[in-house]
Structure 1
Amino acid sequence: MKLYYAPGTCALAPHIALEWIGASYEAERVELGSEDYLKINPLGMVSALKDGDHRIMTQADAILKYIEMSFPDADLGVAKDPLSQFELDEALAFLTGDFHPAFWPFFSAPRFTVSTEDSAINDVREASFARIDRVMTHLEALLKDGTYVVGGKRTIADPYAFAMTRWTAHTPKPWQDYPAVKRFMETMLDDKGVQNAMKAQGLS
């Protein structure tokens, strides 16, 4: 398998999952939106995964599910009953559909206003803080009774949450201000697979 990534993005999540499964893989750093990378993934975004002769796989949550299902012995999923599967899918959907978009106005403020004035762009960025706090508060609730996002065990939802929660370091209310999230993040930071993936991407 070959993972295409850009440092600091949610591509850190499948990178950690690949470390956890213990299988052989390559990781290639790419420039988002570059001409060379657009030939690999026309959307120009990471993460992307190549596995054998199959077409390029995209979307972090889908890639994580593929890794989990392809390596069942790594036990990165939940029980196969409908309710357990729903809870994992619900967590992944929250991370994809609510958590990630909450940061878009913060990192890409000019996309959310027709004004080019610094004051307008700053207003967009500051308006994102309330939405980021809302999704962080929900993540706090998911973690309040344990160390893992879903199912009371390590799953593919954990590296996904970890990769994006790191972004709060750039906001007025970082992850250290949420007690359960802080416990989760510290546990993840102590994990050897997480450390390996971060080192490979030049992250600290």
Structure 2
Amino acid sequence: MNPILFYGVPEGCSFGAIVALEWSGLPYQLCRIDMPAVVSSAAYRRINPVAETPSLRTAEGRPVNQSVAILHHIGAQNPGSGLVPAQGTPDYDRFNEVLAFLNTDFFEAFSPLWYAMEHGMADRDRQVLQAMGHHKVRKAHADLEQMLGSNPWLAGSRRSAADAYFVGIARWNDFHQVLDRREFPALAALHTRLEAEPAVRFAHAVEHGEPALSTGAFMGHVDLEDVLVGHQAAVRASAKASAPAA
């Protein structure tokens, strides 16, 4: 059974997991979850009870939720891909430091801007949130610029799942028009390099429902309804196999 990534659109943070799967070389399928309609549905909550994307159904049929856990899982399935450095090494510590920063400070910096856009509120309240968001986004970029230093990739000399996660979140700056990325030369160079990656172009095309050429082992899309039918059948088969003999 192929792993299935449930990814959210539009502009979802599932983007990095798609890029990581392409880089991994592992066979996988995708299931498109429209937001907010489908992601909050009872059907999807059977996949992820907290109604969030991304979610991953592993090759063994187990659910893995939350981006950090999914990226670690993908990297562990093919250690040779270098998506996650070997445990116990300085590169592994560096990778986790950067990934944690992206998943907290960098991601959260955009939260006030999304909230101001998606919720009706008085002009003054919206302006306060936007000002807060602009400050947080600028600080997060400045901090990440310092963390990157002279390294070509976020975790050091080799691209990793952290770079995949970064490029998915960094595009939110283009959406909200907070800053000119050229103010942070190292990050700007990294972003340009990542946008030229075939896996990143593939993820963009997939999200926009455009023809997409995989450079990995993408095995096509599957409908949520079909996944759920297959899941029910697997649960019944497992229960029958584990039942005591009469």
TM-score calculated relative to the size of structure 1? 0.90
User: How far 1:83 moved relative to its partner?
Assistant: 3.0
Residue of structure 2 in register with 1:181 after alignment: 187
Aligned 1:24-43 pairs, distance under 5 A:
24-31=27-34, 32-43=39-50
Judge conservation of contact 1:162–1:185 (CA < 8 Å) in 2: yes
C-alpha distance in 2, partners of 1:164/1:67?
Answer: 19
Quote the residue 1:5 is aligned against.
7
Equivalence for 1:19: 22
Normalised by the length of structure 2, the TM-score is 0.75
Distance in structure 2 (CA, Å) of the matches to 1:124 and 1:203? 32
Deviation per CA, 1:15-61: give whole Å up to 9, x if none: 00100112211111103323322221111111100013343111101
Structure-to-structure mapping, 1:115-194, within 5 angstroms:
116-169=121-174, 170-194=176-200
Residues 4 and 30 of structure 1 are in contact (CA less than 8 Å); yes or no, is this contact kept in structure 2?
Answer: yes
One-letter amino acid of the counterpart of residue 4, structure 1: F
Q: Which has the larger radius of gyration?
A: 2
Amino acid at match of 1:200: V
The verdict on how the C-alpha distance between 1:55 and 1:80 changes in structure 2, with shifts beyond 3 A counting, is: closer
Match of 2:58 among 51, 56, 65: 51
The answer (yes or no) to whether the contact 2:137–2:178 under 8 Å persists in 1 is no
**CA distance, structure 1, for counterparts of residue 126 and residue 209 of structure 2:** 28
The one-letter amino acid paired with 1:189 is E
* 1:81 aligned counterpart, secondary structure: coil
Contact 1:78 1:151 in 2 (8 A): no
Counterparts in 2 of 1:26 and 1:89: CA distance versus 1, 3 Å? same
Q: Structure 1: any 5+ residue segments left out of the alignment?
A: none
What amino acid maps onto 1:45 in structure 2?
A: E
Q: Which amino acid in structure 2 is aligned with residue 148 of structure 1?
A: W
Letter in 2 for 1:3: L
How far did residue 88 of structure 1 move?
Answer: 1.1
Aligned residues: 202
